[in-house]
Structure 1
Amino acid sequence: MNAASPYRVSPRAALRQSWQDVVFLHWRVPEDEVAPLFPAGTLPDVIDGSAWVGVIGLRMRNIWFGPVPYPAFFELNVRLYSRDSDGHEGVVFRAMEATDPLFAAGSRAAVRLPYTWAGFRYARTRTHVAYATRRLAPAADGAGVRMAVRPGTPLIEPTESEQRLTARWSLHEHWYGTTLRVPIDHPPWPLHRAELEAWHDDGLLAACGLPPLPEPPESVLYASGTTVRFGIPAPVR
C-alpha cells in the first residue's frame, strides 16, 4: 500500500475533493533541464536517480469549499516533483487543464495555479479509460493531449518510486513574490498497473516549457480514486 501522509489535515478542511478514474503517466527527465522551472526555495525531487514529469488525467468530484458543494468537472495536469528547503516533498504544476472555466479563472487569480479552461473528451468502459484535452482560454492555442490506458492488476506492494510519484504530500506554488507550500492529505491510492493504449501530445508539454519526452512513458498507473484534503498554506523559507 502507499505510504501515509505525514500531515493530519482536518476532515473539515476548507477544500476537499475526490479524484476519480485517475491515470498516471510518468517520464524520466534530466534534472538540469527542468530545474529552472521550479519556484524559489524548491528543487527537483530526485526519485530513482532522476527528475520526473507526470501527466495525470482525472475526474474531479465531491468538491467542497468548507460547507459549500461545488459541481464536478474534469482535470488533466502536467506536474514536476519538488523538494523544498525544509525537506518537504511536493508537486509543482506546469499545467492544470479543467472543463470548468469559473474554477480555472478563480484558481489562477487567487492561488496563481496554472489553470486553463479546456475542452475534454472522456471515455470509461469496463476495460479502458481515455482522456483528450484541448485548450480554450486564456491560452487559446489549441494545445492538448490524448491518452488511453487499460487498467490491470492491483498493486499490492508498489515500488518506492511508484509510491513517491503518486503519494505527494505538498503543493509548491509561486505566489505574489513568495513560494507557498500547501499540505495535502489523502488515504492510500488503490493503484493498478496499466497498459498504455494511446498517447499523443498536441503541444501541451512544449507550452509548459518542458523538453521533448521519449515515447512511451516509463510508468503507467491507474487508480479508481481517493479523497483529498488541503491544509493551510505556509511560506517556504
Structure 2
Amino acid sequence: MVSYGAERRLRLRVLRADWLNQAFVHWPYRPADVQALLPGGLRADTYDGAAWVTLTPFLMAGVRPAGVPSCVPALGSFLETNLRTYVRGPDGRQALWFLTIEVSCPAMLAARAVGAPYHRGSLSLRRNDEICSYSGARRGGEGAYRLAVRCGAPVVPSERDVWLTTRWHAFTRRAGLVWDTPVEHAPWPLHTGAVENLTQSLTTAVGLPTPSRDPLVHFSPGVRGVRIGPSRPRWRAAGSAGGALRN
C-alpha cells in the first residue's frame, strides 16, 4: 500500500519547487480502459476494483535547480495541469503515469527528453475565499477544461485518500525504455473538495471514455520544498530485448 510519507530521502536532486493550490479530481474507470493507454510492461493499479484517472491543476512556485544557492533568483511561478493515472511496474513499484501535462513555462518542455508528455498550455488560476477556479487548454491541440472547486474542511486522510493523492515515483517512456523519476515532499495536507463547475474534454482527448460518474474531489493548499530526483531508465519496454536495467 502507498505510504503517506516519502519512502526515502533523495540523495541526488535535480529540482526543488513548491506545489500550491492543488485540486485533485478523480474518476473511476474500468481497468481495461486505462490499460489500453499504457506501454507494455506496466499495468493499471486499482483500488476497490477500479482504475482511477485524476485531473490535477496547481501552481508551481519557487522552482529552482538543485545546487543553486538561495541568493540566486528562482525560475519564478507558473501553472501546470496534469491528467494522470496510477500504475505498477514489473517489480510491483507503484507510480504515476501522466496521460498529458499542460504547462505555461516553456522551460519545462525539456522533460520531454525522458518521455514526460509536456505541452504548452494557456492556463489560469483564481482564488476567491474558499473557491479555486482553474482553466486550461493545450495550445494548438485538443483538450481543455474549466473547473471551480470549493475547499472544505481538513481531513485525516483515509487509506483511499492517500492512495489517490500520493505517489513517490513517476514513470515515463522514451527510446524503448521506462524511466523512473522519484520525488520527495511532506505529506499532502488534504481538505474535502466540492466541484462548483466542471467542463472538460481532456479525458476523451487522451483516448478515454467520457467519465460515467461524478468525480471524487480533494483540495490541498500545497506542499513546499518538493525535491525531484534524476530520471533513470529502469526497464526495457515490452517488446524490447532484456528486462530490468542496472544503474
TM-score in terms of structure 2 length: 0.87
Shift in Å, 1:79 = 0.3
CA distance in 1, matches of 2:173, 2:148: 32
Identical-pair percentage = 31
CA distance in 2, matches of 1:183, 1:48: 26
Shift in Å, 1:183 = 1.5
Unaligned regions of 5+ residues in structure 1, if any?
Answer: none
- Contact kept, 8 Å, 1:23 with 1:57, in 2: the verdict is yes
Unaligned regions of 5+ residues in structure 2, if any?
Answer: 69-73, 236-243
Shift in Å, 1:224 = 0.5
Q: Is 1:107 matched up with 2:111?
A: yes
Size of the alignment, in residue pairs? 227
List per-residue Cα deviations over 1:39-97 (Å, max 9, x = no partner): 33211111122100000010011111123432211001000101111221110001101
Q: CA RMSD, aligned part only?
A: 1.6
CA distance in 1, matches of 2:182, 2:43: 17
CA distance in 1, matches of 2:46, 2:98: 16
Query: Which letter maps to 1:124?
Result: R
Tell me what 1:174 maps to.
Answer: 173
Tell me what 2:71 maps to.
Answer: none
- Contact kept, 8 Å, 1:40 with 1:174, in 2: the verdict is no
CA distance in 1, matches of 2:76, 2:151: 27
Secondary structure of the residue aligned to 1:210 is coil
209, 224, 227: which one pairs with 2:221? 224
Secondary structure of the residue aligned to 1:103 is helix
Detail structure 1 runs of 4+ shifted over 6 Å in the superposition. none
Larger CA Rg, structure 1 vs 2: 2
Shift in Å, 1:107 = 2.0
In the TM superposition, what are the counterparts of 1:63-74 in structure 2 within 5 Å?
63-68=63-68, 69-74=74-79
In the TM superposition, what are the counterparts of 1:128-139 in structure 2 within 5 Å?
128-136=131-139
Query: Which letter maps to 1:71?
Result: G
TM-score in terms of structure 1 length: 0.90
In the TM superposition, what are the counterparts of 1:12-31 in structure 2 within 5 Å?
13-31=13-31
Shift in Å, 1:142 = 5.1
186, 203, 217: which one pairs with 1:205? 203
CA distance in 2, matches of 1:233, 1:135: 25
Secondary structure of the residue aligned to 2:35 is helix
CA distance in 2, matches of 1:33, 1:103: 29
107, 118, 123: which one pairs with 1:120? 123
CA distance in 2, matches of 1:6, 1:78: 23
Shift in Å, 1:215 = 4.4
Tell me what 1:59 maps to.
Answer: 59
- Contact kept, 8 Å, 1:40 with 1:178, in 2: the verdict is no
- Contact kept, 8 Å, 2:142 with 2:205, in 1: the verdict is no
Tell me what 2:101 maps to.
Answer: 96
CA distance in 1, matches of 2:229, 2:105: 23
